[in-house]
Amino acid sequence: MTAYLLRRILIALPTLLGVVVLVFLMVRLAPGDPAVLLAGEFATPETLEAIRARYGLDRGLPEQFLIYLEALLRGDLGESARSRRPVLEELKTYFPNTLELASAAILVAVLTGIPLGVLAALRPGSGLDLSVMVLALLGVSMPVFWFGLLAILIFSVGLGWFPVAGKGTLAHLVLPAITLGINATALLARMTRGTLLEVLSQDYIRTARAKGLAERVVIFKHALRNALIPVVTVVGLEFGTLLSGAVITETIFAWPGLGQLLVGSILARDYPVVQGAVLLVAISFVLINLLVDLLYAAIDPRVRYD
């Protein structure tokens, strides 16, 4: 187990280095002079020169990269070109909010998606099954943008149940969490239904029923526990997707998360912040993957890592 863990972490390192290189190149190879974009269209040549010197843009790409990497190893992510704050400070401000929103969204997805999937699987072909599956199809295919704005118009403007946007009370969290979680909810419902149906057709379920166990025990103890193993994997991976995919939801609901920071920084060519934010998301993704793998071993005794 320990050896496996070490190996996984070692594999993650080149992945992260790849991300660092990619992000570094992507922001720099985009067309346009970054100094002009940072200084604004009205800047004088002197201002441009000062800006270039301040952010090391007057050096060659390889040199810029080495400087960046060396600072990175010291835990220094640089300074935001817009606010001139340390990037780490910016990330610390915004990332917890994204974490909060993504956690709420995955909670919504698990608490509604899995029960709906179970209900559908218990009565395959019924009207209930059909409506759950149609809802799931809608949930997967609805654009987040459209769903979010509609939710605001109906539940905030029309009915006045929830605040329109921002962060503060628990009520502020409801609409963005549902909006962000809607795709994952639908995915989990379909997935749960599928795997549960498959498990229910297995021999050991027939055996369990044959030996006279109550249907409740058959479903929840024997069938569901097995059916949920792949679902757990998907929950983990979805969580990673939600962290990076919160951008649109955060924009609509003015949620003060990483997405809001990232969009503003991309538009303003704030390289250090873009690099830092993408790196953070990539690291989270790698970590979550690792966690899912470990969790897999914990819930399925057949899985052993040697």
Residues that bind another protein (CB under 8 A): 30-34, 36-37, 39-44, 46-47, 50-51, 54, 82-85, 90, 93-94, 97, 149, 152-153, 156-157, 160-171, 251-254, 256-257, 260-261, 263-264, 269
Q: The tokens 């992260």 sit on which residue? A: 16
Instruction: Find, among 250, 223, 235, 228, the residue nearest to 183 by Cα.
Output: 235
Q: How far is CA 161 from the centre of its chain?
A: 27
Minimum distance, C-beta of residue 138 to another protein, in the bound complex (Å): 22
Output 83 or 289, the one with its CB closest to another protein. 83
Helix axes 224-252, 271-299, angle to 10 degrees: 170
Distance between CA atoms of residues 217 and 65, nearest Å = 60
Distance between CA atoms of residues 305 and 109, nearest Å = 30
Distance between CA atoms of residues 140 and 185, nearest Å = 8
The two tokens of residue 245 are 């995919």
Minimum distance, C-beta of residue 92 to another protein, in the bound complex (Å): 10
Minimum distance, C-beta of residue 64 to another protein, in the bound complex (Å): 18
Output 139 or 257, the one with its CB closest to another protein. 257
Output 28 or 209, the one with its CB closest to another protein. 28
The two tokens of residue 83 are 């606010």
Instruction: Find, among 173, 176, 184, the residue nearest to 112 by Cα.
Output: 184
User: Under a CB-based contact definition with an 8 Å cutoff, are residues 226 and 101 in contact?
Assistant: no
Output 195 or 275, the one with its CB closest to another protein. 275
Output 127 or 168, the one with its CB closest to another protein. 168
The two tokens of residue 24 are 């570094």
Minimum distance, C-beta of residue 119 to another protein, in the bound complex (Å): 22
User: Under a CB-based contact definition with an 8 Å cutoff, are residues 185 and 108 in contact?
Assistant: yes
Minimum distance, C-beta of residue 143 to another protein, in the bound complex (Å): 14
Minimum distance, C-beta of residue 99 to another protein, in the bound complex (Å): 14
79 φ, ψ to 5°? -125, 135
- Please list, in sequence order, all residues whose beta carbon lies within 8 angstroms of the beta carbon of residue 90, skipping any fewer than 6 positions away: 80, 83, 261, 273, 276
Output 162 or 195, the one with its CB closest to another protein. 162
Output 96 or 124, the one with its CB closest to another protein. 96
Minimum distance, C-beta of residue 160 to another protein, in the bound complex (Å): 7
Among the residues of 40-112, which ranges form H helices? 45-54, 61-73, 87-108
